């Protein structure tokens, strides 16, 4: 299937799609002039359909167009009716631009189709009896332009898209589903509108602007950051440019707001591209704020999340002090940092936490963080941490650990059947110490292994 055929399948209006298909058939049949004429017919039908749809949906500014159209149609094929429709069609590109169905560049591209269409259907426009002979690639290009510029997009104005995007972000039932955000507010909107939406999201994600009182500005900024991540997966450079455009305003925010923005976006390269060395120095100072807490107390949530950025190579490059900052934390504080943002980077630290747990309670805390990191384990690291677990009495005999062992087995399904013998080795090591009849012989794990087809006793 060609690119043009794929686009034709995506034409928004089911009434216009047959017209685009007809233009494509004409092209394939070698009827180049007919292809260009049919393409322009599809363009006019699409604009009319969309403007009527907007009027029907309550857009008061589109109502006069619908009224004019209805009056012209009521006159039928009379001379007055034809003249009225010709007058209306002559304004369609201007109307499409006015209602933001296309931008100024789109007007220029579609105007070329109209001009070539006139040459195709009015041979008298050329002097000396010559007939316009368009090249096939021109016809194909016109159809592709019509599809990408207009026909495949829904009848949504730029301003209306922004309003819909803002409403979506502020929805009390908001769910951070990146594919949905991409499909609705990036893939199906025009290029100019994409840039506007991305810039809008960047402003709110970085600057914590008030969303007209619809929700707390900080939570709103968190949601906008999610949208930025979705957009970056489609066009990272566009997001980078939008974020860089906010740098001057971001530089003068208070420290708390800058720290929150760092936590939100500090693991993304497009964030650091807009941060100069002066601001890097300031951010380092914010993270190094002295904390008057005992080694057993967790750090404040903002500092914990900021230090958790050590997982990001972009953050480590610009804030090299992060690794030392993390290494200098107490056992409890490292545990909370790793638990705040599970990541493969923290696996060595998590294994060490399991090895060093100094009480049953700490053993259980380390076990819970280990389960969070289960998706990142390899067979080698799984074996290493299970050996540490079975060797540390504070982990082995903590009451919650027997259940967490089952959760760890379930969380490592990505390793497939090969993980079962590793858990079998763990059971053997534990039972060599605890025996086979005690609660701490992990009977629940034995049953879970049996359920996946592995017999530890075999």
Strand, helix or coil for residue 164: helix
Tokens (6 digits) for 260? 């929150």
- Contacts with 126 (C-beta within 8 Å, 6 or more apart), sequence order: 119, 132
Is pLDDT above 70 for 267?
yes
Q: Which of 124-133, 257-266, 409-418 has the lowest mean pLDDT?
A: 124-133
Q: Is the pLDDT of residue 292 over 90?
A: no
The Cα–Cα gap between 325 and 264 comes to 19
Q: How far is CA 371 from the centre of its chain?
A: 26
Handedness of CA 287, 289, 295, 296 (dihedral sign): negative
pLDDT at 121 over 90: no
Q: Note the pLDDT of residue 103.
A: 83
Residue from 443, 433, 373, 374 nearest 403 by CA: 443
What's the rounded Cα separation, in Å, for the pair 386 and 351? 9
Classify each residue of 344-375 as buried b or exposed e, where b means 16 or more C-beta atoms within 10 Å of its C-beta: ebbbebbbebbbbbeebebbbbbbebbbbbbe
Give Cα 317 distance to the centre of its chain: 24
Give tens-digit pLDDT for 370-402. 999 999 999 999 999 999 999 999 999 999 999
Residue 119 · residue 125 · CB < 8 Å: yes
Residue among 66, 134, 147 at smallest CA distance from 106: 147
Mean pLDDT of 162-174: 92
- The region, left, alpha or beta by phi > 0 then psi within -120 to 50, assigned to residue 157 is beta
- The count of C-alpha atoms lying within 13 angstroms of the C-alpha of 175, restricted to the half-sphere facing its C-beta, is 4
DSSP state of 299: P
Question: Of 445, 444, 429, whose CA–CA distance to 392 is shortest?
Answer: 429
The CATH fold of domain 3-151: 1.20.120
> Which residue bears the tokens 């089952």?
406
8 Å CB contact between 99 and 54: yes
**Strand spans (E) along 81-125:** none
Q: Where are the domains of the chain?
A: 3-151, 156-255, 276-341, 342-458
Mean pLDDT of the chain: 90
Average pLDDT estimate for 283-307: 77
Q: What's the chain's Rg over C-alpha atoms?
A: 32
Higher pLDDT, 378 or 121: 378
- Is residue 196 within 8 Å of 162, Cβ to Cβ? yes
Percent helix / strand / coil, the chain, rounded to 5: 75, 0, 25
Measure the CA angle with vertex 147, ends 145 and 149; round to 5°.
60
Is 233's pLDDT higher than 80?
Answer: yes
Q: What is the pLDDT of residue 385?
A: 96
CB neighbour list of residue 3: distance below 8 Å, 6 or more residues apart: 144
């Amino acid at each position: 299937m060609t690119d043009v055929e794929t686009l034709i399948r995506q034409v928004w209006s089911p009434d216009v799609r047959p017209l685009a298909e007809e233009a494509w058939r004409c092209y394939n049949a070698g009827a180049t002039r007919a292809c260009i004429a049919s393409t322009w017919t599809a363009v006019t039908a699409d604009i009319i359909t969309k403007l009527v749809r907007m009027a029907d949906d309550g857009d008061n500014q589109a109502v006069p167009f619908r009224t004019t159209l209805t009056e012209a149609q009521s006159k039928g094929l009379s001379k007055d009716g034809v003249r009225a429709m010709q007058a209306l069609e002559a304004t369609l590109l201007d109307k499409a631009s006015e209602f933001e169905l296309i931008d100024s560049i789109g007007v220029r591209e579609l105007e070329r189709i109209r001009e070539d269409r006139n040459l195709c259907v009015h041979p008298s426009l050329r002097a000396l009896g010559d007939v316009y002979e368009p090249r096939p690639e021109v016809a194909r290009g016109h159809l592709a332009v019509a599809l990408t510029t207009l026909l495949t997009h829904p009848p949504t104005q730029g301003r209306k898209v922004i309003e819909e995007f803002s409403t979506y972000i502020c929805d009390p039932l908001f769910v951070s589903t990146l594919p949905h955000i991409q499909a609705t507010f990036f893939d199906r909107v025009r290029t100019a509108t994409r840039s506007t939406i991305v810039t809008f999201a960047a402003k709110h994600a970085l600057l914590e602007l008030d969303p007209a009182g619809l929700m707390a500005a900080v939570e709103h900024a968190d949601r906008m950051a999610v949208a930025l991540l979705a957009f970056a997966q489609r066009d990272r450079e566009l997001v980078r440019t939008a974020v860089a455009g906010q740098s001057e305003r971001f530089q003068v925010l208070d420290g708390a707001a800058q720290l929150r923005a760092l936590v939100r976006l500090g693991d993304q390269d497009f964030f650091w591209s807009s941060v100069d060395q002066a601001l890097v120095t300031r951010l380092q100072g914010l993270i190094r704020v002295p904390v008057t807490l005992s080694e057993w107390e967790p750090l404040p949530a903002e500092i914990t999340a900021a230090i958790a950025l050590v997982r990001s190579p972009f953050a480590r490059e610009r804030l090299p002090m992060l690794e030392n900052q993390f290494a200098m934390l107490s056992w409890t504080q490292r545990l909370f940092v790793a638990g705040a943002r599970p990541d493969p980077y923290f696996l060595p630290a998590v294994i060490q936490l399991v090895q060093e747990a100094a009480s049953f309670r700490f053993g259980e805390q380390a076990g819970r963080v280990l389960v969070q990191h289960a998706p990142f384990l390899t067979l080698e690291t799984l074996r290493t941490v299970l050996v540490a677990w079975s060797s540390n009495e504070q982990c082995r005999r903590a009451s919650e650990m027997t259940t967490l062992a089952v959760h760890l087995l379930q969380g490592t399904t990505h390793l497939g059947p090969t993980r079962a013998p590793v858990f079998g080795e763990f059971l053997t090591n534990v039972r060599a110490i605890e025996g086979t009849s005690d609660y701490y012989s992990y009977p629940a794990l034995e049953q879970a292994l049996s359920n996946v087809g592995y017999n530890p006793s075999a």
